[in-house]
Structure 1
Amino acid sequence: MPSIRRGRSAPAPGAGNTRARYRRILRFAAWHLAVTWWFELFLPRIGLARVAARTRSPRMQRFARRFHVLAVDLGGLMIKVGQFLSSRLDVLPPEITEELEGLQDEVPPVPFPAIRALAESELGFPLERAFAMFEETPLAAASLGQAHRARLLPDDADEFGIKDVVVKVQRPGIGAIVDVDLAALRRVAGWLSHFRFVSERADMPALLEEFAQTSFEEIDYLHEAAGSERFAADFAGDVRVQVPLPVWERCTRRVLTLEDVTAIKITDVAALRAAGIDPAAVARVFAAVMFDQLFTNGFFHADPHPGNIFVTPAPAGAGEHPWKLTFIDFGMMGEVTASARTGLRRLLIAAAARDGKGLVAAIRDVGVLVPAADTVELERAMTHLFARFGGMGFAELREVDPREFRDFAVEFGDVVRSLPFQLPENFLLIIRAVSLTSGVCSSLDARYNLWDSVEPYAARLLRDERGNIVQDAARQAIDAGGLALRLPGRLDGLITRAEEGNLPVANPRLERQVARLDRTARRSASAVVFAALLIAGALIRADDSALGNLLMAASVVPLFHGLWVGRRGL
């Protein structure tokens, strides 16, 4: 009889009943949103920005620790959120990324009897009739399922051309858990929609529904098997990439059997060096492969966190490329429409050329910026950004004086808040893929410079974009001709308005600074009146309680006025 290798499995934590799970997620979100509002919005509004800045680091540490506990205890989609945050090494502070890094590997496994029961129910027969060997101890435990090594029966191995496989089995009851998590996240998205800065730039409920659709696709393993085949077809013949193929006869909606291709985890720098593989070279190839998916193929892996990417050393004498990037877990895949892909390619080309104006135009084409927006100040800010920080790697940026970053962030933030940015629904997965890619590359090489990968890739894209030079020249000639025809009328109108004294001169930056000074002056005056009435009332109250109480109550009026002025300025 075929043998089943036995081992120990740690107990999985109970998620509790769905109502308790829902309430726990909402309590966590409500508390931390309230804390963020108090320190990051309210205190700066009343002149206590230094207090917020001084407590920011310990607050981030507390948030990360508490979220870590919540995610490990509950599992489900909370693990997905934590994995995303832990991979943002290039943006988020180490207080958050270091605390959440362990979420990539510490998801508790489900006890094997429950896994066996689900797998046999899905396959329709005992594991011994499907596999010659099936390890009880999981190879990896993820938020939605866990993977076990197995070996096909000899006849099946001959038929499929595969001997060793990895069997991914869904966590029992994960469908109900995903439903609860999505319900809680929908509620949180509704709360965020009440923040004007958020609601003006993203339709949070719509983005959440996009995330929900992706989550439902992730727990359909037949969808994942089809994704792996399409991804493999996109990189067929590419010496840089390896993809495990599915064994369709052993696949269902909740059980997935794939060729075993696991090797060195991509962020295991010590293991890479021990195998004679340069981590910096891995970072460059990984970035190029992700660029190909996003900007060329239009079908991309939207969850490239370190647990889903391996580096597989090639056999001795394999040729020009001594190792391959091995992608697994194709449950979360994204597609870029042809028009969006064109806009993204132009954006990449403009970024590589340090072209602030071209970058803003590409952002508009992609749909991130409302077409009617006045972009003069944004173009100036982008030009300044490229002039000062363009071409710097992650390590170089860390060495820049924090005060310089702070000053630029204040100025750039004013520009961004004044423009009608929006987040198209189909960009959620693109942003996730780019963010995770940047984080993985930075962890492989602290001095990794994304520009080194962007510039040659963008140069090739630029050659492709130009295509027919005659068409480009004709288009530019038509644009120039139209401008020449419109120019006399525009000049005549401009001269007429100047003669009538009706020619406005706009300086958005100056206007914002004047408005900010005006709000500050009015808020300061309100604060002085508030303090005077409050102190006077407290002093008089000892001799005349009625008058003292009246003055103290009246002090609320200038207090509310000062807060209202500050709120309108946000």
Structure 2
Amino acid sequence: MPSDSALVTAQTSHSLKRRYRRILTFAAIALAQTWWFELVLPKFGLKKRVAKSRTRRLQKLARKFRVLAADLGGLVIKAGQFLSARIDVLPVEITRELEGLQDEVAPEPFESVVAQIEEQLGLPLTVAFEEFANEPIAAASLGQAYRARLSAGLAGDLGFAEVIVKVLRPGIDDVVAVDLKAIRKVGSWLSRIRLVNRRADAPALVEEFAFTCLQEIDYRVEAQHLERFAADFSGDPWVATPTVIWERSARKVLTLSNVAAIKISDVSALESAGIDSNKVAAELARVTFQQMFVTGFFHADPHPGNIFVTPQGSGSSVPFTLTFIDFGMMGEVSEVLKQDLQTLLFALVARDARGYVMAIQRLGVLLPTADTVQLERAVSALFDRFAGLGVADLTKTDPRELRDFAIKFNEILRTLPFQMPENFLLLFRSISLISGVTSALNRDFNMWDAVDPFARTLLNGGASRTFGAAGRQLLSTLTTLASLPQRLDALISRVENGDLVTRNPVLEQKVKSVSASSTRLTIVIVLTAAVALVLNLW
């Protein structure tokens, strides 16, 4: 007769195999349905009927995935959250349904949590902590968090006693291994689908996702992330982080100082504390830009539950701090990517449609074969009409205008060979979350107002780390100016071909009539305008 441990092992193995089959079965059915409706039926003259039912079908599919993710937990929830940011690959009907996928599952039994802590720390729970709550304050798919008090001796050395203890779920290593095996299989299937592989390298995206998730199940990595982030902002009085208690931390247990304060999305609590929510939004935007464009190391999961607003006393130089927690999911920006992102930022600030399109080409978002004339025209119209408008302003805009513009813009995007580079996955997720938080803080908050002064700071060499990049950007601008005579010839060719993107039809007609005798005068005019723009930004 098999022993109890053997039975448990057999049951666990069966459960993991069943989990693997459920994930693959769902993916296989979803892909088969998509193939049938999007490829087979249109060949039999049913294209209009398929298009009519598409939204309903996709929403139903996304809701089924949400049910599956909530039931399985583990990396299935994480995968859904990542997919919600893949607007370049997935239809908006799916990404919108997945946006609200919450990483909340039933907690593990307290006895198994205690056993995990004692095994990891090599100490009885009563020795490691003076007090330890029986119920978790949060139970996510990978781990749980508890309130606790440090033992008196350690608390005296550190100067505080109240802590938060994060504990990985027992058996999570096996769950993650099975989930990654299934997700890699699905990624290999997707790589054979033309609609997907021409926009993204599915296996590469899966590996990036896997790398991030494997880091999340090693709390020592999270602790290192936290301390690196804290060092990056050590001179910024607006930013704070918890303290790592290394004496009570290990791979599956992480103990941090308790920094709980006002949840950043709790506007009424901010008002009660005398804190201006618009100032909070502005500082959050600045700190986000600092991470992405300067330090190159950013928090990739900045949802409202991971950012507190901590009021400061009258003796402080700032009225509050933005206190970040949960550093399991972080992103890193290389020096080359950072410089390209800065170029994109400068194009946005200058409302330079052509510069913007060239920047996203350099970033790898647009493939080299893309015909960008229509996109440049659309971006130019976007800058002209909507640049500088906050959320509140947009709500006052005629909905028909917004809808018509969105439809036209979407049609243009779908005709272009674009993709979301693998290293943009976390970056895009972070920007999306921050945008939602700032809008919730203040519907009148204008991201353009936050971008402008930050870009000017970069151009002015406001931070020593960016001075070299700013200098290179200026050199690039001057090089562009020096090559304008040759570029003007190309401009005239575009005009003759009817491809000129301009905001002034009268000017376009005049440029069409440029002759060789007036070329020099035109060059002078263009140079003067370009130099004025540079001086204005500088």
Deviations 1:228-247 (A, max 9, x none): 11100111131211101211
Distance in 2 between the 1:450 and 1:88 partners?
Answer: 22
What is the aligned residue count?
477
Aligned pair partner of 1:255 in 253, 256, 267: 253
| Corresponding residue of 2:113 | 115
Distance in 2 of aligned mates of 1:287 and 1:115: 38
Whether 1:433 and 2:396 are equivalent positions in the alignment is no
Cα 1:482–1:102 change in 2 (3 A) is closer
> Is the 2:85–2:429 contact (alpha carbons within 8 Å) kept by the matching residues of 1?
no
Alignment CA distance shift 1:380-1:202 (3 Å): same
Distance of 1:82 and 1:469 partners within structure 2: 38
SS at match of 2:460: helix
Distance 2:52 2:453 in 1: 40
Alignment of 1:165-180 (within 5 A): 165-180=163-178
The residue that corresponds to 2:127 in the other structure is: 129
> Which stretch of the first structure deviates more once superposed, 225-234 or 23-32?
23-32
Contact 1:115 1:169 in 2 (8 A): yes
2:26 to 20, 24, 28: 28
Task: Give runs of aligned pairs for residues 49-198 of structure 1, distance below 5 A.
Answer: 49=48, 52-53=51-52, 56=55, 59=57, 62-63=60-61, 65-83=63-81, 101=100, 103-104=102-103, 106-198=104-196
Structure 1 residue matching 2:278: 3-state secondary structure: helix
* 8 A Cα contact 1:140 1:148, kept in partner: yes
User: Which residue of the partner structure matches residue 443 of structure 1?
Assistant: 440
Q: Choose which of 379, 388, 392 in structure 1 pairs with 2:389.
A: 392
Q: CA deviation at 1:273?
A: 3.2
2:241 pairs with 1:237: no
Write out aligned runs for 1:228-377 (5 A).
228-314=226-312, 316-371=313-368, 373-377=370-374
User: Shift of the alpha carbon at 1:457?
Assistant: 1.6
Return the TM-score normalized by structure 2.
0.78
Distance 1:394 1:447 in 2: 6
Change (3 A) 1:117 1:361: same
Which amino acid in 2 is paired with 1:285? E
Bigger drift between 191-200 and 71-80 goes to 191-200
Deviation at 1:177, TM superposition (A): 1.1
Q: What do you get for the CA RMSD once the two structures are aligned?
A: 3.6
Correspondence for 1:467? 471
The amino acid that maps onto 2:276 is: D
Q: Which amino acid aligns with 2:295?
A: N
Normalising to structure 1: TM-score of the pair? 0.74
Q: CA deviation at 1:300?
A: 0.7
Give the conservation status (yes or no) of the 8 Å contact 1:87–1:101: no
Deviations 1:42-97 (A, max 9, x none): 778856557745772x55654454333322221112232445578999x9989976
Paired with 1:430 and 1:317, the residues of 2 have a C-alpha distance of 36
2:465 match: none
Relative to structure 1, is the Cα distance of residues 295 and 77 closer, same or farther in structure 2, using a 3 angstrom cutoff?
Answer: same
Rounded to whole Å, the distance in 1 between the matches of 2:271 and 2:18 is 46
1:96–1:478 CA distance, 2 compared to 1 (3 A): closer
Work out the CA distance in 2 between the residues paired with 1:33 and 1:409. Answer: 28
- The separation in 2 between residues aligned to 1:84 and 1:369, in whole angstroms, is 21
Cα deviation, residue 146, structure 1: 0.9
Amino acid at match of 2:234: A
User: Identity of paired residues, percent?
Assistant: 52
Q: Is the 8 A contact 1:122 1:255 kept in 2?
A: yes
**Residue 380 of structure 2 aligns to which amino acid in structure 1?**
T
Shift of 1:366: 1.9
Do 2:75 and 2:179's aligned partners in 1 also have CA atoms closer than 8 Å? yes
1:64, 1:100 within 8 Å by CA — same for their partners in 2? no
How far does residue 223 in structure 1 lie from its aligned partner after superposition?
0.6
The runs of 5 or more residues in structure 1 that have no matched partner are 1-13, 495-503, 510-570
- Post-superposition shift, 1:32? 4.0
Cα pair 1:61 1:96 within 8 Å, conserved = no
SS in 2 for 1:438: helix
Larger-Rg structure: 1
Q: Which amino acid aligns with 1:232?
A: A
Distance 1:479 1:205 in 2: 41
* Alpha-carbon distance in structure 1 between the residues aligned to 2:482 and 2:50: 57
**Mean CA deviation greater in 342-351 or 77-86:** 77-86
Cα drift, residue 352 of structure 1: 2.3
Q: CA deviation at 1:250?
A: 1.3
The amino acid that maps onto 1:25 is I
- Compared CA separation, residues 448 and 23, structure 1 to 2 (3 A): farther
CA distance, structure 1, for counterparts of residue 92 and residue 473 of structure 2: 46
Give the distance between the partners of 2:474 and 2:459, measured in 1 at CA. Answer: 15
Alignment check: 8 A CA contact 2:85 2:95 kept: no
CA contact (8 A) 2:83 2:98 kept: no
CA offset digits 1:326-371 (Å, max 9, x no partner): 1111111111011100111111221122211010111122222334
Moved more, 348-357 or 73-82: 73-82
Q: Tell me the residue number matched to 1:537.
A: none
What CA deviation, in whole Å up to 9, does each residue of 1:464-521 have, x standing for no partner? 355389956863565357779xx7xx99xx9xxxxxxxxx958799xxxxxxxxxxxx
Q: What CA distance in whole angstroms lies between the structure 2 residues aligned with 1:470 and 1:242?
A: 34
Distance (whole Å) between structure 1 residues aligned to residue 168 and residue 262 of structure 2: 24
Asked if 1:479 corresponds to 2:483, the answer is yes
Deviates more, 1:392-401 or 1:300-309: 392-401
**AA partner of residue 165 (structure 1):** V
| Contact 2:84/2:94 (8 A) holds in 1 | no
